[in-house]
A and B are shown apart, each in its own frame.
Chain A
Amino acid sequence: MTRKSALVGAVAVVLGAVLMLSLAWGLQHAALANPPVLGRTAPRLAIQTAGGDQVRVWELQGKPVVLNFWASWCGPCIEEGGVLADASGARPDVAFVGADNQDTSSGFEAFEQRHPHSYPAGPIVTGSYQAFGVGGLPATFFINAQGIVVASFTGPLDASTLNHYLGLITS
C-alpha cells in the first residue's frame, strides 16, 4: 500500500466514522422522536428582536410564558398573529415571545415592517426549535411560572383555544 492510498483510506475512515457517529447521535436525539417536553423544564431558548434586544425565555421564570414558533413565510402564522396580539395586550401577567425559525433576516425584517409584533419576537439566537420537537409551524408552547412546559399546540390558534391554554398556565 502506498503512502498516498493509506492517507486516503485513513481520511475516508475518519470521515465515515464521524458521519456514522453523528447519525447515531441523531437517532438518540431525534427531534420528532423526542417531543415530550410536556411536563419538563422548557429547553433554553433566546431570541433577538429587531431592535437588537435579547429575550431569554429561561430568565422569564416567575411569569407564565406563551412561546410561539413562527416564520415570515408561514401563512397560518399571519392568521393567528391578531389573536396573539390581542391576548398579549389583554394579559400583561403573561409573557409572550415569538421565535422566528428557518427564516432569512430579510424575511424577518420585511415581516416586522408589515405585521409588527406587539410583543418581543425575532430569530432564535440560543437554543433551537428542534429541542422543542417542533415539526410544523405555527407551534405554540405554554410554559408556567415555574418554567415547566404545560401544553403545546400546533397550527393557527383561535381566541377560544388560546384562552383555554392560558387558563392552564395561569391557574
Chain B
Amino acid sequence: MILGYLGAGALLAGLVMGGFSALLSFWAGWREADVFIQVGRRAFYAAAAMTGIAAVLLEVALLTHDFSLAYVVEHTDLSTPTPLVAAGFYGGQEGSLLYWTLILGALGSASLVASARIGARVAAYAAGILALILSFFLFVLAVVASPFDLLSITPADGLGLNPVLRDGGMLIHPPVVLAGFASFAIPFAFACAALLAGRADAAWIRHTRRFALLAWSLQSAGLLLGMWWAYHVLGWGGYWSWDPVENVALMPWLATTAYLHSSQVQEKRGRLRNWNFGLVILAFLLVVFGTFIVRSGVVPSVHTFAISAIGPWFFAFLFACLVFSAALLAFRAGTVRVHVEPAPAVSREGGFVLQNLLLIGVIAVVFWGTILPLVSGMLGAERVVGAAYYERAAGPIFVVILALMAVGPVLPWRHAGAPVLRALRWPAAAAIVVLAGLLVAGVRSVPALLAFPLSAAGAATIFSEYGRVLLKKPWIILRKRRRYGAYLAHLGLVVVVAGVAASHFGQQEKDVTLQPGQTVTVAGYTLTYTGSDQHQLQDHTDFVAVMRFGDRTLEPSRATYAGLGGQALTHVAITTTPTADVYVVLAATGTDGSASFRVFVNPLVTWIWAGGAVIILGVVLGNVGERSAVPELARRRVPVTLPA
C-alpha cells in the first residue's frame, strides 16, 4: 500500500516540476534570461526523474505482487511467469501511459542536454514544449488514470494477464512501439521551438537528427515486431490486417520517412524549410491522433485497452496540439520562408519531393480508411473499409515509390545528366530479367509482376552503388557512412517488400481433419499427423498435436486458461524452409483422436524479418560515430551570469 502512496506522490511531484519547467522555460526564453533557462531545463530533468521513480515503484509493486494496487490485480496474478509480471508494467492502459511518459522524460532530457548550442531561445522553447507534453501525461497519470489507485480490500490473487499477451512478443513489441511513439515528441518540440524563435536555419534538424532517426528506427522495429508477433500468435497466417491500430502506427512512420529524406534537402540545399516543419509536426500529430484512437475505443480493433476516462482528455490534447501547430505554421512559417529557385524535376531534390508527395498520398489513403467509420457514422450510415480498399488505393502509390527507390539513389543534386542513364542500366537489367523469369514461370498477376521486378531493380541499384565504390575507393563507405548506411536501409526495405509480395501473392492454405497416421500435402509440402498430447502447465492446460514434416516435428497447440474463465489461445507451429514457412494451426480436436488443422504455406516470410534487421543495421552502421555538424557560431557556450 505504501508503494501506492509513494507512486502517486512521485507523479504529483513530477507534474508540479513539469508545469514549473514549462512556465519558466517559455518566460525565460522570451526574455532570453540564461539562468532561468537553465533552471527551467533542470526542472524538466527533475520531472523526468520523478517519472522514473514512479516507474520503479510500479515495477516493484508488480514484482512483489502488491495486490493492494488495482493495476497489479488487473494485469497479473500469482501464476503469471515473472518476466510477464514485469512486462505487466506496460500491459495495461495506465502502466503503458507511465512507460510512454518515462521514455518521453528520458529522451526529452537527453535532447535538452547540450541544446543551448543551437541557441538559448530555441533551447528554452523546446524545453517548454517538452515540459508541456510531459505535464499533460503526468496530469492524466496523476488525476485521470493512475496506476497507483488502491483497492479498499486487498485480494489474495490478481486477475492475470490476457492470454494473447502471455507471449514472448509481449516482452519486446509494446515497449519498442511505445518508445517509438514517445520519441516523436523530440523533433516536434525543437521544430516548434525553432518556428517560435523565428529560426530558419537547419540547426534544429541537425540537433534532432538522431532523435528523428531513433523515432523512425524504433517505429520500424515496432511495426515489424508487431507483424512478427501477429504472425506467430494469431493463427490466421498473416501479419498485417489494416487494423486501425496498425494504421495509426504506420502513418507517423510514413511521415518520418518523408522527413528523413526532405530534411537532407534543407541541410544540403537550403530548400523545403516550411515543408520540414510541417512534416515533423504532422508526424507528432499523427502520434497523438493514434494514441487517442487506440486508447479511447472510438474505432474497434484487435488491440484493445480497457476503457477508461482518458478518451476526452486525449481528445482535448489532440485539439490543443492541432490548434497550436496550425497557428504556429500559419503565423510563423512566413518568417522563415526563403525564396529559392525551383529545383529541377530530375534531380535528387526533385526525387525527394516526389517521394514526399507519394508518402503523403499513402498517409491520406490510410487516414481516410481509419476515420471513415467515424465520419460516415457522424453522417448517419457507418461504413468500414477492409484490406481491399487499402490495397487498391495505396498499392499503386507503393509501386511508384518502389520504382523511385531504384532511381533515386543514383540521382545527383541539382541536375541529372547522361551518367544517370548509365547508372540505371543495372537496375533496368535486373528488373527485365526478373520480369522475364516470372512470365516464364507462369505468373500473370499484375501486382506481382510489378512488385518483384521493381524490388530487384531497387536491390540492383544499391549493389551497383556499393560495387562502384568498393572497386575504386572503398574507404569512401566509411567516410560517407551516413549515405551508405541509408543505402543498406533501402536494401532492407526492398527485401521486406519482396517478402511481403511473395507471401501475399503466393500463400496457399488447406483445412483438413486427420486421424493419427494420416497425411496432408499443401504446395508440395507433406505433413503427417502422429497423435496428440495434453500438458498441465503453471497457468494453463496445453493440448498439443504432433505432426511430422520430414525429420522435423511440428507441435501446434491450444492453451486453455482455467483461471481466466476458460479462455483459449492457439499456439501456431511454424517451420521455415529456404523458400517458405509451413504454418500449422490446430483448429479443433475430436474425442476419437482426430484433429482439425489449417495449414498455410507462406513463401519468403522470413525475408520480411531479415529485411527488417538489415534496415536497422543500416541505420546503426550509418550513424555510429557520426558527429552532427554544429555551426561554429552556435558552438560557443553562452556565458551564464548570475543576477546581482
The residues of A with any CB-CB pair to B shorter than 8 Å are 9, 12-13, 16, 18-27, 29-33, 73-76, 78-79, 82, 102-104, 114-115, 128-131, 134-136, 155-156
Pairwise interchain contact A30-B296, C-beta atoms closer than 8 A: yes
Interface status of B377 (Cβ within 8 A of chain A):
yes
Secondary structure dominating the interface of A: helix
The residues of B with any CB-CB pair to A shorter than 8 Å are 235-238, 241, 292, 296-300, 302, 304, 307, 311-312, 315, 318-319, 322, 326, 330, 371, 373-375, 377-378, 382, 384, 386-388, 511, 566-568, 570, 585, 587-588, 596, 598
* Complexed CA–CA distance, A20 and B378 (Å): 11
* Complexed CA–CA distance, A58 and B296 (Å): 30
Pairwise interchain contact A16-B311, C-beta atoms closer than 8 A: no
B244 to chain A, nearest CB (A): 11
Smallest Cβ-Cβ distance to A30: which chain B residue: B297
Contacting residue for A156 out of B298, B319, B330, B568, CB 8 A: B568
Contacts of B238 in A (CB 8 A): 73
Contacting residue for B384 out of A18, A32, A114, A128, CB 8 A: A128
Pairwise interchain contact A102-B241, C-beta atoms closer than 8 A: yes
Pairwise interchain contact A25-B292, C-beta atoms closer than 8 A: no
Pairwise interchain contact B588-A82, C-beta atoms closer than 8 A: yes
Pairwise interchain contact A23-B322, C-beta atoms closer than 8 A: no
Contacts of B236 in A (CB 8 A): 73-75
Please list the 5 inter-chain residue pairs (A to B) with the smallest Cβ-Cβ separation, ordered nearest first. Answer: A26-B298, A73-B236, A32-B297, A25-B378, A22-B374
Q: A27-B315, A33-B307 are in contact. List 18 more A-B contacts (CB 8 A).
A: A13-B326, A19-B322, A21-B378, A22-B371, A22-B375, A26-B374, A29-B298, A30-B296, A31-B297, A75-B235, A75-B570, A102-B241, A104-B388, A129-B300, A130-B300, A134-B300, A135-B304, A136-B302
Pairwise interchain contact A33-B386, C-beta atoms closer than 8 A: no
Smallest Cβ-Cβ distance to B387: which chain A residue: A104
Contacts of A31 in B (CB 8 A): 297-300
Contacts of B235 in A (CB 8 A): 75
Contacts of B374 in A (CB 8 A): 22-23, 25-26
Pairwise interchain contact B315-A24, C-beta atoms closer than 8 A: yes
* Complexed CA–CA distance, A78 and B509 (Å): 14
Given the interface contacts A104-B388, A128-B384, does A30 sit within 8 Å of B315 by beta carbon? no
Pairwise interchain contact A155-B377, C-beta atoms closer than 8 A: no
Pairwise interchain contact B588-A114, C-beta atoms closer than 8 A: no
Contacts of B587 in A (CB 8 A): 75-76, 78-79
Pairwise interchain contact B382-A130, C-beta atoms closer than 8 A: yes
Contacts of B312 in A (CB 8 A): 27
B554 to chain A, nearest CB (A): 16
Smallest Cβ-Cβ distance to A19: which chain B residue: B371
B514 to chain A, nearest CB (A): 14
Pairwise interchain contact B568-A76, C-beta atoms closer than 8 A: yes
* Complexed CA–CA distance, A102 and B299 (Å): 13
B304 to chain A, nearest CB (A): 5
Contacting residue for A79 out of B237, B319, B386, B588, CB 8 A: B588
Smallest Cβ-Cβ distance to B558: which chain A residue: A79
- Pick 20 A–B contacts, CB within 8 A, sort by A: A19-B322, A19-B371, A20-B318, A20-B319, A20-B322, A22-B375, A23-B292, A26-B298, A27-B298, A30-B298, A31-B297, A32-B297, A32-B307, A33-B311, A75-B235, A75-B236, A75-B598, A103-B386, A130-B300, A136-B302
Contacting residue for B322 out of A16, A22, A32, CB 8 A: A16
Contacting residue for B588 out of A33, A78, A102, CB 8 A: A78
Smallest Cβ-Cβ distance to B587: which chain A residue: A78
* Complexed CA–CA distance, A21 and B318 (Å): 12
* Complexed CA–CA distance, A27 and B596 (Å): 41
Pairwise interchain contact A32-B326, C-beta atoms closer than 8 A: no
* Complexed CA–CA distance, A27 and B311 (Å): 7
A155 to chain B, nearest CB (A): 6
* Complexed CA–CA distance, A37 and B292 (Å): 24
* Complexed CA–CA distance, A32 and B330 (Å): 37
B16 to chain A, nearest CB (A): 29
Contacts of B598 in A (CB 8 A): 75, 78
Pairwise interchain contact B298-A75, C-beta atoms closer than 8 A: no
Contacts of A20 in B (CB 8 A): 315, 318-319, 322
Contacts of B300 in A (CB 8 A): 31-32, 129-130, 134-135
* Complexed CA–CA distance, A128 and B326 (Å): 35
Pairwise interchain contact A30-B378, C-beta atoms closer than 8 A: no
Pairwise interchain contact A25-B377, C-beta atoms closer than 8 A: yes
Contacts of A25 in B (CB 8 A): 374, 377-378
* Complexed CA–CA distance, A75 and B234 (Å): 9
B245 to chain A, nearest CB (A): 12
Given the interface contacts A25-B378, A78-B596, A104-B387, does A30 sit within 8 Å of B311 by beta carbon? yes
Contacts of A9 in B (CB 8 A): 330
Contacts of B386 in A (CB 8 A): 102-104
Contacts of A33 in B (CB 8 A): 296-297, 307, 311
Pairwise interchain contact B296-A27, C-beta atoms closer than 8 A: yes
Contacts of A26 in B (CB 8 A): 296, 298-299, 373-374, 377
Contacts of A136 in B (CB 8 A): 302, 304
Contacts of A73 in B (CB 8 A): 236-238, 241
B241, B298, B587 interface centre (most CB from chain A within 10 Å): B298
B532 to chain A, nearest CB (A): 14
Smallest Cβ-Cβ distance to B556: which chain A residue: A75
Contacts of A79 in B (CB 8 A): 587-588, 596
A19, A20, A129 interface centre (most CB from chain B within 10 Å): A19
* Complexed CA–CA distance, A129 and B238 (Å): 22
Smallest Cβ-Cβ distance to A161: which chain B residue: B566
* Complexed CA–CA distance, A73 and B302 (Å): 13
Contacting residue for A75 out of B292, B318, B377, B585, CB 8 A: B585
* Complexed CA–CA distance, A43 and B272 (Å): 51
* Complexed CA–CA distance, A78 and B297 (Å): 27
Contacts of B377 in A (CB 8 A): 22, 25-26, 29
Pairwise interchain contact B296-A78, C-beta atoms closer than 8 A: no
Smallest Cβ-Cβ distance to A77: which chain B residue: B587
Contacts of B292 in A (CB 8 A): 23
* Complexed CA–CA distance, A134 and B387 (Å): 19
Pairwise interchain contact A30-B307, C-beta atoms closer than 8 A: yes
A81 to chain B, nearest CB (A): 8
A72 to chain B, nearest CB (A): 9
Smallest Cβ-Cβ distance to A12: which chain B residue: B326
Contacts of B384 in A (CB 8 A): 102, 128, 130
A21 to chain B, nearest CB (A): 6
Pairwise interchain contact B382-A76, C-beta atoms closer than 8 A: no
Contacting residue for A114 out of B237, B511, B567, CB 8 A: B511
Contacting residue for B382 out of A18, A21, A128, CB 8 A: A128
* Complexed CA–CA distance, A136 and B303 (Å): 9
Contacts of B311 in A (CB 8 A): 27, 30, 33
A126 to chain B, nearest CB (A): 10
Contacts of A74 in B (CB 8 A): 236
